[in-house]
Chain A
Amino acid sequence: MDYRILIDIASWAFLVYAVVICSGYTFAALFSFLEIKEYKRIYNLPSEEVAMLQSSTLPPVSILAPAYNEEANVVENVRSMLTLNYPSYEIVVINDGSKDNTLQRLVETFSMVKDESLRYNSIPTQEVRGVYTSTIKAYKNLTVIDKANGGKADALNAGINNCKHDLICCIDVDCILENDALLKLVKPFLNNEKTVIASGGIIRVANSCIIEDGRIIEVRLPDKFVARAQILEYFRAFLMGRMAWSRLDGLLLISGAFGMFDKKIAIEAGGYNHKTVGEDMELLVRMRRMMRNKKIPYTVGFIPDPLCWTEVPQQWKVLHRQRNRWTRGTMETLWMHRKMLFNPKYKVLGMLSTPYWMFFEWLAPIIEFFGILFIILLYVLGFLNWTIFLSFFALVYFFSVLYSITAIFFEEYSFQQYKKPKYIFRLIGTAFAEPLFYHPFVMWAAIKGNIDLIRGKKTWGAMSRTGLSNPKK
Chain B
Amino acid sequence: MEQIYENIYYNDWEWIVKLNILVSFVLILLSLILILFILYLRLFKNSRNLKKAEHYSRLSDFINNYLFDPDFDETETENFKNNFLKTNLQKKITTKEILIYNQNFKGEANDSIKKLFFSLDLDNIVFKDLKSLKWHRRTRGLYTVSSMGIKIQESLAVKLLNDKRSEVRLQALLYFIKLSQKYPLNFLYRLEEPLTIWQQVYLEDALKKYEEQVPDFSKWLTHKQQSVVIFCIKQIAVFNQYENIDQVMPFLESPEEELKRAAIRCMRKIGHEEAIDVLLTNFATESTEIKKEILKLITQIGDFNQLQTLSGLLTGNDEEMKIEYLKAEEHFLK
Contact = CB atoms under 8 A, between A and B. Distances in A.
B31 A405 contact: yes
A46 B201 contact: no
A193 B320 CA distance: 30
A122 B200 CA distance: 32
A58 B206 CA distance: 15
Q: Is the interface of A mostly helix, strand, loop or mixed?
A: helix
Contact of B196 (A58, A192, A398, A406): A192
A41 B139 CA distance: 10
A190 interface: yes
Nearest to A191: B198
A424 interface: yes
B27 A424 contact: no
B73 to A, nearest CB: 32
A120 B323 contact: yes
Interface in B217-276: 234, 238
A51 B201 contact: yes
Contact of B41 (A120, A388, A412): A412
A454 interface: no
Contact of A120 (B30, B238, B324): B324
B327 interface: yes
Given A45-B139, A55-B201, A193-B194, A388 B31 contact: no
B212 interface: no
A293 interface: no
A424 B39 contact: yes
Interface string B308-333: 00000000000110011011001000
Given A122-B320, A388-B13, A398-B28, A58 B143 contact: no
Question: Most chain-B Cβ atoms within 10 A of its Cβ — which of A46, A48, A413?
Answer: A46
Contact of B35 (A52, A119, A391, A428): A428
Contacts of B136: 41-42, 44-45
B204 A45 contact: no
B38 A405 contact: yes
Interface string B30-49: 11001101110110010000
A109 interface: no
B155 interface: no
Nearest to A38: B136
A402 B30 contact: yes
A391 B42 CA distance: 34
Given A117-B327, A394-B24, A398-B28, A57 B204 contact: yes
A47 B200 CA distance: 15
A270 to B, nearest CB: 15
B198 A409 contact: no
A321 B17 CA distance: 39
B45 A416 contact: yes
Interface string A240-266: 000000000000000000000000100
Interface string B118-129: 000000000000
A415 to B, nearest CB: 11
A459 interface: no
B305 interface: no
Given A118-B330, A122-B320, A405-B34, A413 B24 contact: no
A416 B27 CA distance: 24
Contacts of B96: 46
Contact of A391 (B20, B201, B324): B20
Contact of A118 (B24, B35, B37, B323): B323
Given A55-B205, A428-B35, A42 B200 contact: no
Contact of A412 (B17, B38, B201): B38
A48 B174 CA distance: 11
A139 to B, nearest CB: 22
A193 B166 CA distance: 10
A392 interface: yes
Contact of B20 (A395, A401, A413): A395
A421 interface: yes
B11 interface: yes
Chain B, interface size category, equals: 35 or more
Contacts of B45: 416
A339 interface: no
Contact of B167 (A45, A122, A402, A413): A45
B24 A391 contact: yes
A412 B139 CA distance: 26
Given A52-B201, A57-B204, A190 B196 contact: yes
Nearest to A121: B319
Interface in A27-60: 41-42, 44-46, 48, 51-52, 54-59
A57 B17 contact: no
A83 interface: no
A191 B196 contact: yes
B37 A409 contact: yes
A408 interface: yes
Contacts of B189: none
Contacts of A59: 197
A54 B205 contact: yes
B50 interface: no
A401 B31 contact: yes
A385 B196 contact: no
B20 A392 contact: yes
Interface string A68-83: 0000000000000000
B316 to A, nearest CB: 14
A398 B24 contact: yes
A408 to B, nearest CB: 6
A45 B99 CA distance: 14
A190 B320 contact: no
Contacts of A8: 11
Nearest to B196: A191
A187 interface: yes
Contacts of B140: 45-46
A402 B29 CA distance: 9
B152 interface: no
Contacts of B166: 191
Interface of A: 8, 41-42, 44-46, 48, 51-52, 54-59, 117-120, 122, 187, 189-193, 264, 385, 387-388, 391-392, 394-395, 398-399, 401-402, 405-406, 408-409, 412-413, 416, 421, 424, 428
30 contacts: A42-B136, A45-B136, A48-B202, A51-B201, A51-B202, A51-B205, A54-B205, A55-B201, A57-B197, A57-B234, A120-B320, A122-B320, A187-B198, A191-B196, A191-B197, A191-B198, A387-B17, A388-B17, A388-B20, A392-B20, A395-B23, A395-B27, A398-B28, A399-B27, A402-B27, A405-B35, A409-B34, A409-B37, A424-B39, A424-B42
Closest 10 CB pairs of A and B: A391-B20, A191-B198, A398-B27, A190-B197, A51-B205, A190-B198, A41-B136, A120-B323, A394-B24, A57-B201
